[in-house]
Amino acid sequence: MRFKKGVLTISYLFLFSAITAGLTLFNGCKSKPVYQPYKFTGDVMVDGKNLVQLKCTRCHALVPADALPKDVWVNHTLANMAPLLHISTYGGNGYFKDNPLDTAGATINEWNAIIEYYKKAAPDTLLPAKKPIPLIDDWAGFTLKKPAPVSYTAFTTMVATNPATHRMYSADAVDEKLNSWDSNLKMDSLAKLPSAAVGVSFGTDSAGHNVGFFACIGRMAPIDFPNGKVVKVNLDAAHVNQDQTYIASDLPRPVNTTTADFNKDGLADVIVCGQGKFKGGVYLLKQNKDHTYDQQTIYDKPGSVQTQTGDFNNDGWPDIMLLTGSGDEGLWLLLNDQKGGFTTRNLLHFPPVYGCSSFQLSDIDHDGKPDLILTAGYNYRDSRILKPYHGLYIFTNTGDWNFKQRWFYPINGCTKAIAADFDGDGDLDIATIAFFADMKNNPAEEFIYFEQDKPFSFKPHALPISQYGHWMCMEMTDLNNDGKPDLVLGNYADGFMFQDGFKPNWDKHLPLIVLENHTKK
């Protein structure tokens, strides 16, 4: 299945996702203990609850029955989980014949008990979350800057600024090109990439050139087709298109890259999130002295979303913080063992309906310990309904990377958050985008600027920009070099609709917009 001119038709993507996407709830299930038949009590609620705990939590955190309405459970999520439990809709005893004792499976009686449990325990519908503070409809000190429109429909998959050069870049899923932008928002097409770039980390090579390590996803749709690549691009080259090096190929939908010298040999290595669908992982690309790269798997599950590097245990060696956003969702700490490998510690677990989409470590409460800013809201799997637990979360670090939830603001389909002192008053504010916002009833939540006026008290400003685009990506920049952080938002103008009857009215010919910061305190 491929994009036609960069876009999957809605009906085809919906059909594909409805058939298979819900299976992500059982990604990564590998344990196979000796099978012990469940002893039924005769109470539907007791048996169902016990079986859900027994069967489902082997592979991911428990999904509460009230997380989805009963029609979604029965007609979508459970139906899509059945094959991973080795349930056949054509009779039999519920197991594949070649592996009758695989306890990732269930008998037909057990499966029917699970279904009956959700029919009784799940609500008829999910009530929308009430926003604790109403959105303020204003510009909050920002002004809108737009480039000249393009002649084609924009499918911007990445926006980024090189912190060393302050040069701004974008990528597009249709023409698969890498573009650069000047301070007047004039676009220059630099190179054609092997597929849409969705992530990048910047650095310098041995010759001192500014380079970018671009995660080229291969397929936008979440399917297992490993044709993604990590491309090292010399951004200083006179002909950028001719100075590209594939440092990793045949990857399962790479979405993020970060760099660090993990073995202290003076050469920068690259970490890649291969999100995949049922097959994926996190990969270390170790740079050799001849500047080739050896690939090593350091986390062997699909669903990775983002990594951040740092010395998280203060031993002088770079470590990795990892966010996973499907299947076994959560936050993980990968500590450098100083021998070429990593030890893994789970910090937070989330049910696989959260759709964790981004994180940032920043000291919100000024106690010297980095806190966690998290967004949850990817919403294009089998349960494509608005979810009251999607939104912006803040977890405070209570010590030794133990996190406690301190604050939450509901945002349908929240995609990314950036925390910075936008107004210069000494505390952190937060900007969010929501690609799966309630565009039909509340398009204002597609972009919200949270102005922190006192500790953990935020004024949510909804800037009136939903008519300009559908924001898949967002990064911080300083367009006018005034020292204040601006924001650039990338417009993925068509596809991935999930609300019946909604007809987009945004501008399909703007690749991006910039929110120039003129806030004052």
User: Contact, 240 vs 191, CB < 8 A?
Assistant: yes
Give me the sign of the Cα torsion angle 374, 131, 521, 454: negative
Give the pTM.
0.90
Burial 254-267 (b: 16+ CB within 10 A, else e): bbbbbbbebbeeee
Task: Of 42, 6, 30, give the one whose Cα is nearest residue 327.
Answer: 30
Report pLDDT digits (tens) over 17-46.
Answer: 333 333 333 333 444 445 578 999 999 999
The reported pLDDT for the residue numbered 16 is 30
> What gap in Å lies between CA 282 and CA 27, rounded to an integer?
14
Q: Which of 37-51, 69-83, 96-110, 437-451 has the lowest mean pLDDT?
A: 96-110
The reported pLDDT for the residue numbered 146 is 98
pLDDT-based confidence at residue 455 (cuts at 50, 70, 90): very high
Burial 26-49 (b: 16+ CB within 10 A, else e): bbbbeeeeeeeeeeeeeebeebbb
The reported pLDDT for the residue numbered 14 is 30
In 10 A of CB 393, how many CB atoms? Answer: 24
> What gap in Å lies between CA 27 and CA 274, rounded to an integer?
14
H-run or E-run covering 22: none
pLDDT-based confidence at residue 100 (cuts at 50, 70, 90): very low
The reported pLDDT for the residue numbered 35 is 58
Specify which residues 203 forms β-bridges with: 211
More confident residue, 59 or 321: 321
Report pLDDT digits (tens) over 405-438.
Answer: 999 999 999 999 999 999 999 999 999 999 999 9
Report pLDDT digits (tens) over 359-395.
Answer: 999 999 999 999 999 999 999 888 999 999 999 999 9
Q: Which of 95-99, 438-442, 514-518 has the lowest mean pLDDT?
A: 95-99
The reported pLDDT for the residue numbered 24 is 36
> What is the CATH number that goes with domain 194-352?
2.130.10.130
pLDDT of 88 higher than 70: no
More confident residue, 456 or 31: 456
User: Contact, 248 vs 295, CB < 8 A?
Assistant: yes
> What gap in Å lies between CA 149 and CA 417, rounded to an integer?
26
Q: C-alpha dihedral over 410, 415, 421, 423, to 10 degrees?
A: -70
Helix (H, G, I), strand (E, B) or coil at 20: helix
pLDDT-based confidence at residue 81 (cuts at 50, 70, 90): confident
Strands of the 269-274 sheet, one edge to the other: 254-260, 269-274, 281-287, 293-299
Instruction: Round the average pLDDT of the chain to a whole number and report it.
Output: 89
Where do the structural domains in the chain lie, given as residue ranges? 44-121, 127-155+353-520, 194-352
What backbone phi and psi angles, to 5 degrees, belong to 65?
A: -60, -30
The reported pLDDT for the residue numbered 7 is 36
Q: What angle do CA 324, 327, 329 make, to 5 degrees?
A: 35
- CA-based Rg of the chain, rounded to a whole angstrom? 23
DSSP 72-84: HIIIIIHHHHGGG
H-run or E-run covering 427: none
The reported pLDDT for the residue numbered 446 is 98
> What gap in Å lies between CA 275 and CA 462, rounded to an integer?
31
Q: What is the CA 306 to chain-centroid distance, rounded?
A: 7
Specify which residues 359 forms β-bridges with: 374
The reported pLDDT for the residue numbered 405 is 98
The reported pLDDT for the residue numbered 382 is 83
The reported pLDDT for the residue numbered 222 is 86
The reported pLDDT for the residue numbered 102 is 41
pLDDT of 278 higher than 90: no
Under CATH, what is the fold of the domain 44-121? Cytochrome Bc1 Complex; Chain D, domain 2 (1.10.760)
Residue type, 409: Y
Q: What is the CA 91 to chain-centroid distance, rounded?
A: 38
The residue behind tokens 């070429």 is 340
